[in-house]
């Protein structure tokens, strides 16, 4: 299956997602951090607590009492590390004169700086770049790896950066609107949606709208294929 076919199929089936309805860039960044190794529902609970406590700004978090911050974000799990990481990121944003200034920065330099922050790995960095700063990057996650492999877009799973490079090259060659950030946003959102609904168990896999070549697989669990 071609990359563009997959996108078309997903878009036809699910429609536009309009992902990450956050009120501010900072909220997107906080969400990206808090959803690490936790489902979005729990991350949302933590964000709501921060909002209700009027704490959802870099300066508030940077100056917050660490124990209070921990309690607010507790629903997202790993709250001690995450509280510390939120402070680190908030300080980084403050030192760089805010998220609007950061948005103006060039992609690869900004990406390197984000990755240098403890608590930001590839996926979180790219989620922030795409959804908070509107940079055209293709976010890779576990669903992406799995779906692309099953759809035959890639042969085997590789490292994050190799797969990303491969996909981004393909996009530039084959997708007409590759400069449109919304394409990257929508594609990733659609992949996650598909993964959540259809790629978790065998019965569901068989009813998947993307009729990939592993559709009729008889394995007990396809979760880690």
Please report, as ranges, the residues that interact with DNA according to CB under 7 A: 36-39, 41-42, 45, 74-81, 117-125, 141-142, 196, 200, 221, 223
Q: What angle do CA 141, 143, 148 make, to 5 degrees?
A: 100
For DNA, the closer of residues 99 and 127 by Cβ is: 127
For DNA, the closer of residues 119 and 134 by Cβ is: 119
Angle between helices 25-34 and 40-52 (to 10 degrees): 130
Min dist CB 141 to DNA, Å, is 4
Min dist CB 10 to DNA, Å, is 17
For DNA, the closer of residues 175 and 197 by Cβ is: 197
- Pairwise CA distance, residues 174 & 201, whole Å: 31
For DNA, the closer of residues 18 and 121 by Cβ is: 121
- Pairwise CA distance, residues 170 & 19, whole Å: 23
Min dist CB 207 to DNA, Å, is 16
- Pairwise CA distance, residues 201 & 46, whole Å: 29
For DNA, the closer of residues 98 and 119 by Cβ is: 119
Min dist CB 79 to DNA, Å, is 6
Min dist CB 209 to DNA, Å, is 19
DSSP string, 25-43: HHHHHHHHHHTTTS-HHHH
The tokens describing 147, both together, are 């779906």
Torsion of CA 38, 94, 23, 185, to 10 degrees: -60
């Amino acid at each position: 299956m071609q990359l563009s076919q997959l996108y078309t199929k997903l878009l036809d089936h699910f429609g536009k997602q309009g992902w990450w309805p956050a009120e501010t860039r900072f909220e997107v960044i906080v969400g990206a951090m808090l959803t690490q190794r936790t489902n979005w529902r729990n991350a949302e609970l933590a964000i709501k607590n921060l909002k209700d406590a009027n704490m959802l700004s870099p300066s508030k978090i940077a100056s917050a009492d660490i124990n209070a911050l921990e309690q607010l974000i507790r629903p997202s799990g790993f709250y001690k590390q995450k509280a510390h990481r939120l402070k680190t990121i908030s300080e980084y944003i403050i030192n760089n004169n805010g998220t609007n200034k950061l948005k103006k920065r060039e992609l690869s330099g900004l990406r390197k700086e984000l990755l240098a922050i403890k608590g930001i790995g590839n996926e979180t960095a790219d989620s922030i770049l795409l959804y908070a700063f509107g940079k055209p990057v293709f976010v890779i996650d576990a669903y992406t790896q799995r779906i692309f492999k099953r759809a035959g877009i890639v042969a085997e799973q590789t490292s994050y950066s190799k797969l990303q490079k491969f996909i981004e090259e393909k996009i530039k060659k084959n997708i007409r609107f590759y400069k449109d950030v919304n394409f990257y946003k929508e594609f990733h959102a659609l992949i996650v949606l598909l993964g959540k609904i259809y790629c978790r168990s065998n019965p569901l896999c068989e009813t998947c709208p993307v009729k990939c070549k592993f559709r009729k697989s008889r394995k007990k669990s396809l979760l880690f294929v």
